[in-house]
Amino acid sequence: AQKVTQAQTEISVVEKEDVTLDCVYETRDTTYYLFWYKQPPSGELVFLIRRNSFDEQNEISGRYSWNFQKSTSSFNFTITASQVVDSAVYFCALSEAKEAAGNKLTFGGGTRVLVKP
């Protein structure tokens, strides 16, 4: 069975500080996909990134960066120079690669990030 663990339930930082969100996953599949989603106060989840299991290259997108380490089954997310608008709940998720599985995602419990001005 697949499992995603986000050990940090809530993180509070002051604006311009960096914040790193941890994500550890478990799966028996050799090929899989990892995701990060953002849930602002409006409620809908917004897709941030998808990474497949055979691509361990780290990625940077503006102030966001992701560190995928297959050896430790981790897919951590860093927000650099945080802003108040980054305040949200962030979810890490895992999906099987088998086409028959569809796009079902297994989500972690989420980490609430509060950025204070």
Partner 1 sequence: DGGITQSPKYLFRKEGQNVTLSCEQNLNHDAMYWYRQDPGQGLRLIYYSQIVNDFQKGDIAEGYSVSREKKESFPLTVTSAQKNPTAFYLCASSKKRGTPIATTGELFFGEGSRLTVL
Residues that bind partner 1 (CB under 8 A): 4, 6, 9, 33, 35, 42-47, 50, 91, 95, 99, 101-110
Of the two residues 77 and 91, which places its CB atom closer to partner 1 in the complex?
A: 91
Q: Provide the minimum distance between the beta carbon of 52 and partner 1 in the complex, in angstroms, as a whole number.
A: 9
Minimum distance of partner 1 from residue 46's CB (angstroms): 8
DSSP assignments along 12-77, one per residue: EEETT--EEE--EEE-S-SSEEEEEEEE-TT---EEEEEEETT----EEETTEEEEEEGGGTEEEE
- Supply the minimum distance, in Å, between the C-beta of residue 117 and partner 1: 26
